[in-house]
């Protein structure tokens, strides 16, 4: 059974940093691109970032470029999102998701982890 479990969320002050993790199991992690998608309270989905299967290529939304870094450890079956210079507008539930094909659709999602940026 495919499972994606996020951790590392919580309350952080504006300008602070946080690292999210997503532990994957039930599939060959190194064979898939992985993404982070976020959802602000009461709002829609917003794509954050993608890393390809061997971590040689990364992509970012303009809103997080230069502040967030996506990475993965295929030996540990874990995806990461290092977030820095956090702003109030980064407050959201962050989902990790398994990406598929050239269409970059998501067949599996984690349960999500809440990040709150507030003083």
- Choose among 3, 6, 9, 12: nearest CA to 118: 12
Give the footprint of other proteins on residues 51-90 (CB under 8 A).
Answer: 59, 61-62
Q: Which is nearer to other proteins, 52 or 74 (CB)?
A: 52
- Choose among 26, 28, 27, 22: nearest CA to 5: 22
Contact by Cβ (8 Å): 44, 28: no
- Member of 12, 68, 90, 110 binding other proteins (CB under 8 A): 110
> Taking the CB of residue 78, how many other CB atoms lie within 10 A of it?
18
- Member of 8, 21, 27, 106 binding other proteins (CB under 8 A): 106
Count residues binding other proteins (CB under 8 A). Answer: 23
Q: Which is nearer to other proteins, 71 or 114 (CB)?
A: 114
């Amino acid at each position: 059974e495919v499972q994606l479990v996020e951790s590392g969320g919580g309350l952080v002050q504006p300008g602070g940093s946080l690292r999210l993790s997503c532990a994957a199991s039930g599939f060959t992690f190194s064979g898939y691109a992985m993404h982070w998608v976020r959802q602000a309270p009461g709002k829609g989905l917003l794509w954050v970032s993608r890393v390809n299967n061997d971590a040689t290529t990364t992509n970012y939304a303009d809103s997080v470029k230069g502040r967030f870094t996506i990475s993965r450890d295929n030996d540990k079956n874990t995806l990461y999102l290092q977030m820095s210079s956090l702003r109030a507008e980064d407050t959201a539930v962050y989902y990790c998701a398994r990406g598929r094909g050239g269409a970059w659709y998501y067949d599996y999602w984690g349960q999500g982890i809440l990040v709150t940026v507030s003083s």
